Structure 1
């Protein structure tokens, strides 16, 4: 029997054993809008302290086009909204044929509120083989306000 005594409040770090893909070396990134002060690299590359933010309000898309097909087993998304009450919807989908067809991974809505829910962190365990494109669509506010889409972090393993 193998055992270990742990503290009750000890949380398992989902990043501790994860080897994240080097998106900078493996893919080209397409984005529909970008604020120069908050470039997409801020959300995709480890060690960045900022985030990506769209320059224009409304629906936005981030697309990763892999140079070679990839196997993806873990997806981490981190969204932050400390100031505005809004309901965001995102859709994550993938293609193994260069974008001729897509399969949806997840479609999710989240309610942000400065008094309570200011962050959404999602970790998805998947088994995707031959991924040529990964696409994240973000509708920052389904009620149609002029909210800006943003993304704190996207990691793949």
Structure 2
């Protein structure tokens, strides 16, 4: 019998991406924020600790771009080392400040401290003039009291 091992490592970030400087290009709106884990810690390179919500339940992060930006890649990193839960996130784009939105991904992930503690996602797209990127995180689709968090969000 022939046998092959299936690669299960998390996807690496595609090479040669020029990440957008979100500090210069975007303003951000959030539904809540733990003061010890501000949103800048997830959006800006060199920051540590990631963002964490101040309360349980569904959370929204919106990036507003002025001028509009071409988006070709979205990279997300989520980490959970303490709570077993199923998280769902949704990414939406808008070319007109949110009047119309296009959902680009809706995905669920099962976190388990005994095994699956890290979710890394890389989404390739071609969106020529984005004025709004919205990330919705439902930290526990089972309705528990989990706190949403985001280690990193990068855009190219």
* Distance 1:14-1:32 versus aligned 2 partners, 3 A rule: same
Q: Which blocks of at least 5 consecutive residues in structure 1 are unaligned?
A: 1-10
Whether the 8 Å contact between 2:89 and 2:108 is mirrored in structure 1 is yes
**Quick one: distance in 2 between partners of 1:129 and 1:156?**
13
**Quick one: distance in 2 between partners of 1:80 and 1:14?**
16
The TM-score, its normalising length taken from structure 2, stands at: 0.91
**Quick one: distance in 2 between partners of 1:31 and 1:90?**
15
Alignment of 1:68-79 (within 5 A): 68-79=67-78
Quote the residue 1:34 is aligned against.
33
Q: How many residues align?
A: 147
The TM-score, its normalising length taken from structure 1, stands at: 0.91
Quote the residue 1:14 is aligned against.
13
Q: Which blocks of at least 5 consecutive residues in structure 2 are unaligned?
A: 1-9
State the shift of 1:67 in Å.
1.2
* Distance 1:13-1:81 versus aligned 2 partners, 3 A rule: closer
State the shift of 1:13 in Å.
5.0
Secondary structure at the aligned position of 1:42 is classed as helix
State the shift of 1:14 in Å.
2.5
CA RMSD of aligned residues (A): 1.4
* Distance 1:106-1:146 versus aligned 2 partners, 3 A rule: same
